[in-house]
Amino acid sequence: MSSPIAISSSAGKPGAGGSLRRARRAEARTARAFVTPAVVLLITFFFVPALLGFVLSLTNARLVSPQGPQFVGLDNFTRLFADPLFWKSLRNTVYFGLVVVPLQSGFALVLALLINARIRGINAYRAVYFVPVVTSIVVVSILWTFMYQRDGLVNHMLQAVSFNLVQGTDWLNDPATAMPAIIFMSIWQAVGFHMVIWLAGLQTIPGDLYEAAELDGAGRWQKFRYVTWPGLRATRSFILVTITIAALSLFSQIKIMTNGGPLYSTSTLVFQSVRAGYEQQQTAYASAISLVFFVLVLTVSLVQRFLTRDKD
């Protein structure tokens, strides 16, 4: 074992400090080499588009126009906040998120608890629940569009279960049922993904905690309340944020199944932004909608992060 005197004498030798500085510079260069690709991608695909979107929202730019964009200040935002369709799209987006986030996360947790048991064939059940996730949302939306028709599979099943007492309706062409129908399909399609995340969180909880709780006479509910739920703190924070962002970004199902109808009952902020930017070629107006959507998602994410923070 080296003595303190030997260590200090070796540190004081000529060139020792220079070698240490060279090693630190080499480590710094290595760190920059690893970080640079991620920083370049972040700047290219996040900060630059966000800055361009902000700049475009202050102009009258169009997708195809013989004249260049001109600065118009906050005219696009004034027009946006006076547009009844914007407020309807905002209500639809919030409604979709308020329903999907608790139902999808709760149902995924129930499935994860059920398939976390060590029984024969459990991997087959996991695969069955996860199949809709790996299926393209476009394909799923097309299939469910046929199923939701008046003579589709959904109404046939309702008639069979109710012995022809319930005839069903044209789900996607009724303003009262179009959004609930899309909500049901969206939860069915994505619940398997969050089930896997819940399952990963469950498997990180030490089994000793359950054994100790069982020795103390805890039942199933007490085990879940005092062992499982606290052990899933980080997992549930991640799931709530990801489900919320995905729910507020609803677009593909709307575009394929209803195209915003009927009577704009399924129009969302993202759908309105895409339609304004590409179909109506109002690039500046679409940028204004996108900025409002960005502020909405950021606010909701920060609130969720604050509410689910570690209070210890």
- The domain ranges of the chain are 4-57, 76-307
Phi, psi of 59 (to 5 degrees): -125, 180
Amino acid at 220: R
Tokens of 88: 């309807």
Q: What is the pLDDT of residue 15?
A: 58
Asked if 193 and 130 count as a contact pair (C-beta separation under 8 A), the reply is yes
- Series of mean pLDDT values for 10-residue runs along the chain (312 residues): 45 62 87 91 90 90 83 92 94 94 93 81 78 90 94 90 84 93 94 91 88 86 89 89 91 94 92 92 92 90 79 57
Q: What is the pLDDT of residue 2?
A: 45
Q: What are the residues facing 59 on neighbouring strands?
A: 71
Tokens of 137: 């949302």
Asked if 223 and 264 count as a contact pair (C-beta separation under 8 A), the reply is no
- The answer for 14, left when phi > 0, alpha when psi is -120 to 50, beta otherwise, is beta
Superfamily for domain range 76-307? MetI-like (1.10.3720.10)
Phi, psi of 71 (to 5 degrees): -70, 125
Q: What is the pLDDT of residue 1?
A: 44
